Structure 1
Amino acid sequence: MPIATINPTTGEKLKEFSPFDDAEIEKRLKRAEDAFRKYRRTTFTERSELLHAVTELLFQEKEKFAEIITLEMGKLFRDSVAEIEKCARGCRFYAENGERFLEDEPAQTDAAESYVQYQPLGPVLAIMPWNFPFWQVFRFAAPALFAGNVGLLKHASNVPQCALAIEEIFCRAGFDDGVFQTLLIEPEQVKKLIVDPRVKAVTLTGSDKAGSAVASTAAGEIKKSVLELGGSDGFIVMPSADFERALSTAVKARTINTGQSCIAAKRFMIADQIYDEFLDQFVARMRALKIGDPMDETTEIGPLATEQILQDVHDQVQKTIAAGAKLLTGGNRIHGAGLFYEP
């Protein structure tokens, strides 16, 4: 099945890619293995210089990369720019501090000298989500590559252009061919990669279900895994809180990334003494949010990322109402081009 870029603002199919077949995957695994043999011997100074080059490239072309994010998954353009800037700062942080993190650590034993030393593992497979399509990758890639590993990225299927752009960034910054590669593959192909002996570790950001599957497969191969799974953040407001500040923060916390974030506030717990007033003003502010083109700097709510996500949100709203909840605002698809939903 083709991997497509569909603009959630317009519904337009922008590009389409064929998933890699087994031969292409094998070629890239071999390239990663060969690249690691050379790259692991680079010095901390050399790796630092490479990450500084990535930093500069991200800052210099932040609008270009931000536009790819917005076109593929609908994030507000100003937030996409901020995401690219965050990636640049993350790379700079590891370029400046990575060597200190990886210093040998003396250990007290009966031996004449004992210490813990950190060595690179090899190719690391990263399975990353669409909601922060650059940051989620760079927060893995910067420390992993500084430590001497090489990266293999299996990105979410709705952001292939982001995935390819990230690979291009590392190449343009001077990393050798094969040090960071994007794999345009189907979810069904992931397990085969995890069990491949050339892949030494795996990291995933995603759902509990996906994390369980990845962790169990990695554990069966005695491979390290790092997981960041879903959340359901609580937002608590006490009577002593700054009411206006709590209210404005609540709206922002619920609508960050059009609500598509594991750190978005999802469960609101408001003290009885202020509940009614808080609810009335919260609803009024949600109704007043400007919905529209994420490239417009005045827009506050953009589209949802995919048709399936929009349908899932609507189904959840309907089930909640059926269970006894009262709908105070929104809760309907905005008909027309694009994947817009009333908050």
Structure 2
Amino acid sequence: MTSIPHHAPPLLENHVAGHWVAGNGPATELKDPVTGDTLARVSSAGLDLDATFAFARDTAGPALRALSYGARADCLFRIVTTLQAHRDDYYAIAQANSGTTTNDSAVDIDGAIYTLGFYAKQGAALGDAMTLLDGPAVPLAKDASFGVRHVFRPTPGVALFINAFNFPSWGLWEKAAPALLAGVPVIVKPATATAWLTQRMVADVVAAGILPAGALSVICGSADGLLDRIGAFDVVSFTGSAETAATLKRHPAFTERSARFNVEADSLNSALLMPDASPDTPAFEQFVREVVREMTVKSGQKCTAIRRAFVPAEYFDAAASAISAKLAQVVVGDPRNETVKMGALVSMAQKRSVIDGIAHLRAEAEVLFDGADAVFVDAGPDSACVAPTLLGLREGAAGQRVHDTEVFGPVATLIGYRDLPQALALAKRGQGSLVASLFGNDAGAMHGPALALAEAHGRVHAIDPSVAKTQTGHGNVMPMSLHGGPGRAGGGEELGGLRALRLYHQRAAVQGPAALLEALTQNGTQMPQ
């Protein structure tokens, strides 16, 4: 694996309006969360944002949309090849700047490359089409001389991504793949703490000359002024806290100019052990393994991680013992040490937030496995390492904080339930989540609960012993499935195959003579489901 050289920390430039530009104001330092060393600096001060957005809309957008969907898919294939050529560098950056182990870096980096490849293949199937059609023509006159046909056209704006710190690679490319395939230029504002990986990936793609100038821009540092430039045909995708999302929603870009705003926010995701999954059954073991995995992968810094694990009250002690036993085997510390299985949180600020969150939950929940006194491998108390903590609430209905507070780290709460209707009601107390999983020994018995959970969750992940080796994981976001959730989860939708293209298209009804409607089929193809 490529190592990070030791020299004066570089100032990472921004790529805007087809050029690399350094910020000219005070720079923010990017740190190694284990050692505290400064790795790089970023600043967006002094950038000409008006020129940035105008160039993307007026120059890059038309150039992208002059290509067919198949040609844009070919661009995605070439981006995949470019990123694969630099994987070792990306792993080194992730280890240093995000504090992740090799396996955790793979979730972000290889997950991004896989998603890009998926959309490249999906887009290639659209061929030479320049327009997407929505269903057949429908006559509006008795003699069928006049009718209507619905079409999808790429929005003539830009896609602005305001991303979170936990997935600097996947967070970019899972959004950019459908946007670029749709023909919409991208401006990404990565979270400052882990911006290095995003900036490096953009730099490699720009250097490869794959996309039209201005089709992919990156702004490192402050997001000030970005929303002020958002117009009526632009799309903004935000990943972050519900509190920040609520503030952004009040911006005139959305309240006055009605720009599209796609949000992925807080999520109190659940895992639910079915009543038939007693401690001596395979489903119980699957449940335990998945809870531990979701608590520890990426140090629990995943928007889809299990935060609440519901079990029948009579299985509470057995589940607590089994989960705690596996957590005790998790080695935490510097990911450069090969014995370490869980690395650091991304920053000291995030560590303080997690510690405060644990204290908040402890006011109503007992500690079942306490990571407070853990000894970290090759990492001291001044590192951003936090060991896993399992809390417990035997009477789930008595809790309030555990159903309201997401602690974004290696923390989960085991919650007892009386019967299945109560368990489903408790899961919905999260007020909308990205994902809920079911674990049982009888797939048929999960039919009703799966549909009930679908009312309040963006994805339902049901597991029985027959899919123990083939299931993709509670927290893994697959590009074939929708990613998003209602309510406090933000109400947004991403991925889901080519459904993702709809965010970047305007659907219009074209009414006219039958000959015109027939002509629309030229260089057009049906929007796939």
Aligned to 1:166: 201
| Shift of residue 37, structure 1, vs aligned partner | 2.7
Matches within 5 A, 1:145-156: 145-156=180-191
Q: Name which of 74, 98, 101 aligns with 1:49.
A: 74
Rounded Cα–Cα distance in structure 1 between residues aligned with 2:262 and 2:365: 39
Rounded Cα–Cα distance in structure 1 between residues aligned with 2:148 and 2:337: 59
Q: Deviations over 1:1-44 (max 9, x none)?
A: 523210112111111122232x4323322331322232221222
Rounded Cα–Cα distance in structure 1 between residues aligned with 2:137 and 2:264: 31
Q: 1:90 to 1:113 in 2, by over 3 A?
A: farther
Q: Deviations over 1:141-181 (max 9, x none)?
A: 01101111000111101122122123223312511221000
* AA in 2 matched with 1:330: G
| Shift of residue 74, structure 1, vs aligned partner | 1.6
Moved more, 322-331 or 25-34: 322-331
Give yes or no for contact 1:49–1:95 (8 Å, CA) kept in 2. Answer: yes
Question: Secondary structure of the equivalent of 1:331?
Answer: coil
Q: 1:107 to 1:212 in 2, by over 3 A?
A: farther
| Shift of residue 113, structure 1, vs aligned partner | 5.0
Matches within 5 A, 1:111-150: 112-121=146-155, 122-150=157-185
Matches within 5 A, 1:1-343: 1-21=26-46, 23-33=47-57, 34-98=59-123, 103-105=132-134, 106-110=136-140, 112-121=146-155, 122-171=157-206, 172=208, 174-194=210-230, 197=231, 200-217=234-251, 218-220=253-255, 221-241=257-277, 242=282, 243-323=284-364, 325-326=366-367, 328-331=369-372, 335-343=380-388
* AA in 1 matched with 2:109: I
* AA in 1 matched with 2:150: V
Question: Secondary structure of the equivalent of 1:104?
Answer: strand
Moved more, 286-295 or 256-265: 286-295
Rounded Cα–Cα distance in structure 2 between residues aligned with 1:296 and 1:53: 34
| Shift of residue 261, structure 1, vs aligned partner | 1.1
Question: Secondary structure of the equivalent of 1:119?
Answer: strand
Taking structure 2 as the reference length, the TM-score comes to 0.60
Q: 1:132 to 1:176 in 2, by over 3 A?
A: same
Rounded Cα–Cα distance in structure 2 between residues aligned with 1:174 and 1:129: 26
Give yes or no for contact 1:205–1:227 (8 Å, CA) kept in 2. Answer: yes
Give yes or no for contact 2:69–2:181 (8 Å, CA) kept in 1. Answer: yes
Q: Comparing both structures, which one devotes a greater share of its residues to helix?
A: 1
| Shift of residue 59, structure 1, vs aligned partner | 2.4
Give yes or no for contact 2:240–2:266 (8 Å, CA) kept in 1. Answer: yes
* AA in 1 matched with 2:149: Y
Question: Secondary structure of the equivalent of 2:89?
Answer: helix
Larger Rg: 2
Question: Secondary structure of the equivalent of 2:55?
Answer: helix
Q: Deviations over 1:48-89 (max 9, x none)?
A: 221110111222322222222222212222221343222222
* AA in 2 matched with 1:278: A
Q: Deviations over 1:244-288 (max 9, x none)?
A: 222122111222210111111111212122211221221222122
Question: Secondary structure of the equivalent of 2:262?
Answer: strand
Q: Deviations over 1:186-241 (max 9, x none)?
A: 143343233xx387121111111222233332422111121112211112223532
| Shift of residue 103, structure 1, vs aligned partner | 2.8
Question: Secondary structure of the equivalent of 2:108?
Answer: helix
Q: Comparing both structures, which one devotes a greater share of its residues to strand?
A: 2
Rounded Cα–Cα distance in structure 2 between residues aligned with 1:18 and 1:182: 12
Give yes or no for contact 1:3–1:160 (8 Å, CA) kept in 2. Answer: no
Rounded Cα–Cα distance in structure 1 between residues aligned with 2:124 and 2:314: 53
| Shift of residue 323, structure 1, vs aligned partner | 4.1
Rounded Cα–Cα distance in structure 2 between residues aligned with 1:128 and 1:63: 23
Taking structure 1 as the reference length, the TM-score comes to 0.90
Give yes or no for contact 1:90–1:138 (8 Å, CA) kept in 2. Answer: yes
Question: Secondary structure of the equivalent of 1:30?
Answer: helix
| Shift of residue 90, structure 1, vs aligned partner | 1.6
Moved more, 89-98 or 50-59: 89-98
Give yes or no for contact 1:63–1:81 (8 Å, CA) kept in 2. Answer: no
| Structure 1 spans left out of the alignment, 5+ residues | none
Give yes or no for contact 2:132–2:153 (8 Å, CA) kept in 1. Answer: no
Rounded Cα–Cα distance in structure 1 between residues aligned with 2:369 and 2:121: 50
Question: Secondary structure of the equivalent of 2:205?
Answer: helix
Percent of aligned pairs sharing the same letter: 22
Rounded Cα–Cα distance in structure 2 between residues aligned with 1:164 and 1:307: 22
Question: Secondary structure of the equivalent of 1:159?
Answer: helix
Question: Secondary structure of the equivalent of 1:301?
Answer: coil
Q: 1:123 to 1:191 in 2, by over 3 A?
A: closer
Question: Secondary structure of the equivalent of 1:188?
Answer: coil
Rounded Cα–Cα distance in structure 2 between residues aligned with 1:124 and 1:68: 26
Q: 1:324 to 1:130 in 2, by over 3 A?
A: closer
Q: 1:99 to 1:212 in 2, by over 3 A?
A: farther
* AA in 2 matched with 1:87: A
Rounded Cα–Cα distance in structure 2 between residues aligned with 1:337 and 1:170: 36
Question: Secondary structure of the equivalent of 1:189?
Answer: coil
